[in-house]
A and B are shown apart, each in its own frame.
Chain A
Amino acid sequence: MRELKVKPIQNGTVIDHIPGGAAMHVFNIITSSEDIDSTISILMRVPSKAAGKKDIVKLENKEMKARELNRIALIAPNATINIIKNGEVKKKFQVELPDVVRGIVKCANPGCISNKNEPIDPEFKVLSKDPLRLRCMYCERELDDVKKYIV
């Protein structure tokens, strides 16, 4: 049987250097903000010199904006973004976590108003980027395990 390779995309966005195994979280984050109907390829546990294993997510014919992509810094702080045009890398940058994270993680405190049936998105203030520390803007509790509470 012929080995199936994922071809390089001609136009779109490549999210590289995602920690091994975290690609599905990245997929959830990028598809939570808008409907994406283009082809999305997910490569998991690709050998990497720097990280041992890494994941890669490719979106065809879709140029994601930096503001949307920065949200994935929550789980992939070292991810790099490549914007591809006509088969060439047009722009390359690293994700950067915003000062306030909205609608991506939920509060761990069941008594928090953001976990009740109210018309608001959970919101967190980024206290520190490394190590990652988030504090709920509503109940003011710090989130212990961010990955566990990604929406």
Chain B
Amino acid sequence: MNLKGKDVISIDDFSRKELEHILKVAKKMVPVAQGKKDLKLLQGRIMASLFFEPSTRTRLSFSAAMNRLDGSVLEFGELEKTSVKKGETLADTIRMVDGYSDVIVLRHNSEGAARLAAKFADKPVLNAGDGTGQHPTQTMLDLFTIMEERKKIDGSHIVFLGDLKYGRTVHSLAQALAMYDVEMTFISPKELHMPKHIVDYLKEKGITPKESQSLTKHIKSADVLYVTRIQKERFPSESEYSTVAGAYRIDLDTLEGVKDDMIIMHPLPRVSEIHPDVDGTKHAVYFRQAFNGVPVRMALLSLALGKEGQV
């Protein structure tokens, strides 16, 4: 399978076969990502890292991925000091950066920004999150984590918990999981339901997700519990936030009676939605999940730059 030059904009642009191929290449990248093996696959190649919005894990893991493969990273530093602040269009910024690099990684606050970038760039564009829209590389590392931890995705019951309205990671992941034979349950406060367009998309693909406000009712049948952060700013008052957030907190008591091999995932950062006591249990995989961002992004960079045959 040749993915050379392919943009990574939306999970919808990928077939299950392509996703599985990316995960297979990512698996081979694990020892390189861990620093146990050298692979100078992207020597002399430049990745432009354009983050118009703050990011910790995505930005660092993309840079780590490029550096592990001996490539270089080009960044524009503080946004305040760039021509973007002078009113330059994204299209112009992209056309310029396209001339300076071999692959472009973009995070932006407008939905569809990466699609626009792909239109103006000759080099492959990797979407690192666009507004409340897509975050396909996060989704790929989420799928990789489920495969690594449970060896299969088909037949799983995936329970999504928390802010399902604004959390772009859950939107992309739900869309990707629609390519598999899975059961999905969405648990959120009523203010933060999964958007209708995502639910409609899933129904079109033949999956009717269950929607609920109660975690206790569904956690015992879960194979994967995907937790997201509920943000304070989504609520009119501190007290309302505390009541809602408290009802969706995972601690050792919540885990009473769950399946032995159930895994808890979280895109991080977490605040208080998962108690630190849970970190030591066999269910907690969120830090390994964060690491998986490196091999998955190494795979994507290598594939997009046509180095597949050398992995």
Q: Is the CB of A142 within 8 A of B200?
A: yes
Chain B, range 137-152, C-beta contacts under 8 Å to A: none
Across-interface contacts of B110 in A (CB, < 8 A): 111-113, 116
Q: Is the CB of A140 within 8 A of B10?
A: yes
Contact with B along A111-137 (1 / 0, CB 8 A): 111101111100000000000000011
Interface centre among B112, B119, B133, B134 (most CB of A within 10 A): B112
Contact with B along A94-126 (1 / 0, CB 8 A): 000000000000000101111011111000000
Q: Is the CB of A118 within 8 A of B111?
A: no
Given known A-B contacts A113-B90, A118-B89, A139 and B200 have beta carbons under 8 A apart: no
Across-interface contacts of B108 in A (CB, < 8 A): 113
Q: Is the CB of A113 within 8 A of B132?
A: no
Q: Is the CB of B91 within 8 A of A138?
A: no
- The answer to whether A92 has its CB under 8 Å from any CB of chain B is no
Q: Name the residue of chain B whose CB is nearest to the CB of A137.
A: B115
Across-interface contacts of B119 in A (CB, < 8 A): 120
Given known A-B contacts A111-B132, A120-B119, A139 and B112 have beta carbons under 8 A apart: yes
Out of B10, B89, B133, name the residue touching A119 (CB < 8 Å): B89
Q: Is the CB of A113 within 8 A of B197?
A: no
Q: Is the CB of A113 within 8 A of B116?
A: yes
Q: Is the CB of B90 within 8 A of A109?
A: no
Q: Is the CB of B134 within 8 A of A140?
A: yes
* Contact size range, B: 20 to 34
Chain B, range 107-143, C-beta contacts under 8 Å to A: 108-113, 115-116, 119, 130-134
Interface centre among B90, B111, B113, B131 (most CB of A within 10 A): B111
Interface centre among A114, A136, A138 (most CB of B within 10 A): A138
Shortest C-beta distance, B86 to chain A (Å), equals 13
Q: Is the CB of B116 within 8 A of A139?
A: no
Interface centre among A119, A137, A139 (most CB of B within 10 A): A139
- The answer to whether B38 has its CB under 8 Å from any CB of chain A is no
Q: How far is the CA of A83 from the CA of B119 in the complex (A)?
A: 37
Across-interface contacts of A67 in B (CB, < 8 A): none
Q: Is the CB of A109 within 8 A of B89?
A: no
Shortest C-beta distance, B204 to chain A (Å), equals 9
Across-interface contacts of B240 in A (CB, < 8 A): none
Q: Is the CB of A117 within 8 A of B111?
A: no
Q: How far is the CA of A106 from the CA of B124 in the complex (A)?
A: 27
Shortest C-beta distance, A138 to chain B (Å), equals 3
Q: How far is the CA of A112 from the CA of B134 in the complex (A)?
A: 12
- The answer to whether A147 has its CB under 8 Å from any CB of chain B is no
- The answer to whether B12 has its CB under 8 Å from any CB of chain A is yes
Q: Is the CB of B112 within 8 A of A138?
A: yes
Across-interface contacts of B12 in A (CB, < 8 A): 140
Can you list 19 A-B contacts (CB < 8 A)?
A111-B109, A112-B111, A113-B108, A113-B110, A114-B112, A117-B89, A119-B89, A120-B119, A136-B112, A138-B115, A138-B116, A139-B111, A139-B130, A140-B112, A140-B134, A140-B197, A141-B197, A142-B197, A142-B200
Q: Which residues of B contact A (CB under 8 A)?
A: 10, 12, 89-91, 108-113, 115-116, 119, 130-134, 197, 200
Contacts A113-B116, A120-B119, A137-B115 known; list 19 others, CB within 8 Å. A109-B111, A111-B109, A111-B132, A113-B108, A113-B113, A113-B115, A113-B130, A114-B112, A114-B116, A117-B89, A118-B91, A119-B89, A120-B91, A137-B112, A139-B111, A139-B112, A140-B10, A140-B12, A140-B133
